[in-house]
């Protein structure tokens, strides 16, 4: 499979129907079925396998704006989760008919069919992105086969909103588990020698495996615990630090986690990532709200202290409201495009967070893991 070509044997039509009545046609290249979800576009130019397997995309239908997808195939090392992908659907402008990569073990269509992910190619993804940018995030239905479009539009209208869904039980580990796997050799070669041997407890709200690999590669001893683990049980593990992981959905639905995180403040260093950043913000007394449209793919983020801009990997539909932050918390990073909060720091406690994912895509911000482990 390292170098091969393939062709989609059956040219089965497909369609993406949005709740506002807009429809986009394509060709089915994945599982033949129907799925509903929140429709977002992702402007990343690489890493489609990470997107497909990232638990943070649970409940979403993702349209890739990069013109061609699938050219490097699929390999087991790049999966971001060991569980079945939670993404609802996948949309491309063009599916590459050639797989050419020394690490590839299967083609993208084989992966999509094996995991029963409905997917379309030959879709005008630029128009999807423009529509969502102008009208905001929409619920949608992705379907293969010959469907009545009015019926699909109604299904989109009747589908649950992301705010109404809780994926915690589906994505989180069921019991504490030690993670010992570092980055694979391609990335490990870029990392310096381990800097510590601290014990880090990761609260799993849908954690990416690359986050765990990043911590282990720097020498940390990592224990992943269920999202509903109490603060008392976390402290029984005698951690040197706690990571609040990424994950999907609305942080306002996870009040149980916010309450336990609040109990950890001042007892142990805490680092929040993505959803974990939003949960930490709420635990510190701030509120969160929905963005007009999701931040997906590569986003520029400015460090307010240095003025430097880093290109970061992101996937979130909610943000921390800066005006609701207490005086003892300061904003450390902001989104260059819209000024939304991308990082927080407590002024007196060893507590900080970032909205972006330091390990993902561009590695401009990978050093943040070192900052946390040196606290």
Reported as a single tens digit per residue, the pLDDT across 330-355 is: 999 999 999 999 999 999 999 999 99
Nearest Cα residue to 225 out of 262, 257, 177? 177
The pLDDT value given to residue 188: 52
Pick out the chain residues at pLDDT < 50. Answer: 186
Identify the three-state secondary structure at position 137.
coil
Q: Are 165 and 55 in contact (CB under 8 A)?
A: no
CATH architecture label of 168-373: 3-Layer(aba) Sandwich (3.40)
The pLDDT value given to residue 39: 96
Q: Are 261 and 228 in contact (CB under 8 A)?
A: no
d(CA 368, CA 353): 10
pLDDT, tens digit, for every residue of 256-272? 999 999 999 999 999 99
Query: What CATH class has 3-160?
Result: alpha beta
The pLDDT value given to residue 171: 94
d(CA 191, CA 185): 10
Segments making up each domain of the chain, as ranges: 3-160, 168-373
The pLDDT value given to residue 186: 47
Q: Are 50 and 314 in contact (CB under 8 A)?
A: no
């Amino acid at each position: 499979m390292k170098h091969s070509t393939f062709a989609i044997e059956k040219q089965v039509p497909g369609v993406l129907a949005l709740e506002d009545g807009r429809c986009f046609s394509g060709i089915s290249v994945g599982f033949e079925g129907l799925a509903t979800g929140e429709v977002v576009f992702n402007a990343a130019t690489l890493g489609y396998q990470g997107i497909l397997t990232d638990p943070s995309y649970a409940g979403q239908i993702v349209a890739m704006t990069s013109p061609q997808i699938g050219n490097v195939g699929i390999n087991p090392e790049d999966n971001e989760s060991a569980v079945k992908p939670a993404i609802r659907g996948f949309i491309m402008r063009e599916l590459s008919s050639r797989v050419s990569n020394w690490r590839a073990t299967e083609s993208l269509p084989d992966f999509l069919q094996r995991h029963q992910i409905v997917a379309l190619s030959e879709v005008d993804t630029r128009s999807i992105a423009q529509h969502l940018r102008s009208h905001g995030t929409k619920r949608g239905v992705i379907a293969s086969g010959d469907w009545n479009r009015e019926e699909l539009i109604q299904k989109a209208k009747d589908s649950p909103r992301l705010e109404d869904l809780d994926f915690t039980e589906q994505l989180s580990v069921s019991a504490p588990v030690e993670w010992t796997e570092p980055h694979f050799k391609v990335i490990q070669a870029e990392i310096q020698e381990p800097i510590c041997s601290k014990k880090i407890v990761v609260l799993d709200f849908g954690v990416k495996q690359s986050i765990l690999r990043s911590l282990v590669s720097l020498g940390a001893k990592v224990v992943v615990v269920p999202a509903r683990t109490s603060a008392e049980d976390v402290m029984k593990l005698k951690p040197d630090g706690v990571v609040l992981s990424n994950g999907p959905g609305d942080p306002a639905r996870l009040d149980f986690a916010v309450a336990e995180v609040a109990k950890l403040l001042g007892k142990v260093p805490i680092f929040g990532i993505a959803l974990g950043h939003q949960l930490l913000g709420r635990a510190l007394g701030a509120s969160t709200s929905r963005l007009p449209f999701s931040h997906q793919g590569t986003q520029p983020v400015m460090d307010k202290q240095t003025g430097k801009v880093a290109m970061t990997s992101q996937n979130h539909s909610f943000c921390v409201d800066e005006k609701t932050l207490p005086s003892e918390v300061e904003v450390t990073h902001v989104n260059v495009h819209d000024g939304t909060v991308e990082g927080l720091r407590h002024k007196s406690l060893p507590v900080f967070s970032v909205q972006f994912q330091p390990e993902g895509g561009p590695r401009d911000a990978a050093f943040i893991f070192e900052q946390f482990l040196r606290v």
